[in-house]
């Protein structure tokens, strides 16, 4: 072994040790199969292979997390109808919610992604990473351990049920309700569609009476339009369908960025 290989091996060992410590701090327990967690924290922008990035684990974790939340809600609300339970689950596992939780948990610091890609910084990849992490824990430790971790590390410290019960997460519905009540024409227009690291990135604008209000970007039109609606609701100060918008202050016109 030459000098270069010797130091390379030392640095790799140190990096592996640091990762093991970081992931243990996040999990609160010792991982067995460390490679699962490395994959869970690797975005496709830096690893394109299906067995190298976290998309397969995200798929698995999404299903497991949804099942765990459904079970939790079923037991917490024994007299609530199916519609209420479905809406509450959507509030708990929607992309923005999971992304915010992931960042608070410190996943942004340990996720491996292309930091030069500006669109990724404003997307919700860390919520996807959290789902992938759930998938990794399931494969590494099984369903019971995963259920315990989800409750203790996601639901109880980050999801406040009383607040979620009254939270409005469908900003498009809120905006449509306000527009219909006030005789306004609300439309969502796709401004741009381009490839970012092999995925289609959509830019969708919310317009009222033909005037640009706000825009959102995401890797599907549904999420992009929801982001645009949320920004429009915030910009116009809409609380409900009866809200009166001060157009002189908020302004209805604008230009796409």
Q: What is the mean pLDDT of residues 100-105?
A: 94
Q: How far apart are CA 107 and CA 23, in angstroms?
A: 9
Nearest residue to 229 via CA among 181, 185, 180, 170: 170
Per-residue pLDDT at 256: 58
> Starting at the edge strand that comes first in sequence, how are the strands of the sheet with 199-208 ordered?
186-196, 199-208, 211-218
Block residue for tokens 């010797």:
6
pLDDT of residue 19 exceeding 90: no
Nearest residue to 219 via CA among 206, 202, 231, 205: 202
Strands of the chain (E only): list them.
186-196, 199-208, 211-218
247 is an active site residue: no
Mean pLDDT, all residues of the chain:
85
Q: What is the DSSP letter of 36?
A: H
Q: How far apart are CA 68 and CA 60, in angstroms?
A: 12
pLDDT of residue 124 exceeding 70: yes
Q: What is the mean pLDDT of residues 93-117?
A: 90
Specify the range with the lowest mean pLDDT, choosing from 123-132, 151-160, 215-224, 242-251.
242-251
Tens of pLDDT, residues 127-179: 999 999 999 999 999 999 999 999 999 999 999 999 999 877 778 888 888 88
User: Which residue would you say has higher pLDDT here, 47 or 140?
Assistant: 140
Catalytic: which of 62, 140, 215, 223? 62
Q: How far apart are CA 111 and CA 52, in angstroms?
A: 13
For residue 244, name the pLDDT band (cuts at 50, 70, 90). low
62 is an active site residue: yes
Tens of pLDDT, residues 231-241: 898 888 876 55
pLDDT of residue 66 exceeding 50: yes
Catalytic: which of 51, 71, 131, 193? 131
pLDDT of residue 249 exceeding 50: no
Task: Mention the CATH class of domain 3-165.
Answer: mainly alpha
Nearest residue to 16 via CA among 34, 2, 4: 34
Q: What is the mean pLDDT of residues 205-229?
A: 89
Domains of the chain by residue range: 3-165, 171-250
Q: What CATH architecture does domain 171-250 belong to?
A: 2-Layer Sandwich (3.30)
């Amino acid at each position: 072994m030459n000098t270069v290989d010797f130091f390379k091996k030392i640095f790799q060992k140190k990096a592996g040790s640091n990762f093991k410590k970081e992931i243990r701090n996040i999990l609160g327990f010792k991982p067995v199969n460390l490679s699962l967690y490395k994959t869970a924290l690797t975005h496709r922008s830096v690893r394109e292979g299906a067995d190298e990035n976290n998309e397969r684990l995200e798929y698995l974790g999404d299903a497991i997390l949804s099942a765990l939340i459904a079970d939790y809600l079923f037991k917490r609300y024994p007299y609530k109808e199916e519609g209420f339970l479905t809406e509450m689950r959507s509030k708990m596992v929607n992309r923005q919610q999971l992304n915010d939780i992931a960042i608070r948990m410190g996943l942004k610091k340990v996720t491996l992604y292309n930091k030069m890609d500006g669109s990724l910084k404003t997307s919700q990849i860390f919520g996807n990473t959290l789902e992938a992490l759930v998938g990794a824990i399931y494969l590494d430790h099984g369903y019971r351990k995963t259920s315990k971790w989800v409750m203790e590390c996601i639901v109880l410290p980050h999801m406040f049920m009383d607040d979620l019960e009254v939270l409005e997460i469908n900003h498009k519905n809120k905006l449509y309700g306000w527009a219909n009540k006030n005789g306004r024409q609300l439309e969502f227009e796709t401004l741009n569609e381009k490839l970012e690291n092999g995925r289609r990135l959509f830019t969708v604008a919310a317009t009222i009476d033909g005037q640009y209000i706000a825009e959102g970007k995401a890797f599907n039109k549904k999420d992009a339009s929801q982001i645009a609606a949320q920004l429009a609701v915030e910009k116009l100060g809409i609380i409900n369908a009866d809200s009166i918008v001060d157009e002189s202050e908020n302004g209805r016109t604008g230009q796409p960025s």
